[in-house]
Amino acid sequence: MSIADGDNRTYGGIAVEDRRSRRRSQFLAAALDVFSEKGYTSSSVADLCRSAGLARRQFYDEFASREDALIALYDSIQADAKAATTEAVARCAASDTHELATAAMGAYVESIGKDPRRARISFVDSVGVSRRMDEHRLAERAVWREFFALTVRSAVGKDYVPPGGYEMASTAFIGALIALVQQWSTADPRPDVEDLTNIMVGFLDSLLLH
């Protein structure tokens, strides 16, 4: 072991923070495998440690509980989807709602739906776990509603308000998108992503009728 200046400790040539980050990533990868294969309610901390190849003590260095690991995994999946969707919208120079929606939804579908495990964690195993988890999901849904409103306003103007208001319109749109992506993630064979975006663009049109 060697000690660098300040808190920049290293063990075996690897900084402590890098080692912890790597270990946390191992546990999250294990959680994705275990929760999606066995289901959250049927899994245990021992299952996660076995899949990660790490000790129980190391798990509790990173997470206070199995539910905390689920929340961290859920947040990681959502963060990836937000980054992909935001980047897709930023690359889309047009202000047309069809093009923006196609770009955003294509990125979302690819990020969450392409891997059935990620879709299951997002839409199945994170539901009904606890009041805390449900409130966490609802808070995350509010973030997506805000993203929906900001994106639509950038295309149709800040003065436009859809029938029922943005909260109702965004809730309806996101609910439909989640149901569609969940079904698509396990379909065999899967329809083209373009088929999904065409359906949702049509739904968006119905929400944004002037």
Does pTM top 0.85 for this prediction?
yes
Q: Report the C-alpha gap between 110 and 49 in whole angstroms.
A: 29
Residue 94 pLDDT class (50, 70, 90 cuts): low
pLDDT tens profile 41-92:
999 999 999 999 999 999 999 999 999 999 999 999 999 999 999 999 888 8
pLDDT at 95: 66
For 99-155, how does the pLDDT look when each residue is reduced to its tens digit (9 = 90+)? 888 888 899 999 999 899 999 999 999 999 999 999 999 999 999 999 999 888 888
pLDDT given at position 18: 75
All domains of the chain in start order, with CATH: 1-63 (1.10.10.60), 65-207 (1.10.357.10)
Buried b (16+ CB within 10 A) or exposed e, 28-65: bebbbbbbbeeebeebebebbbebbebeeebbeebbee
The secondary structure of the chain in percent helix, strand, coil, rounded to multiples of 5, reads 75, 0, 25
Report the SS3 class of residue 120.
Answer: helix
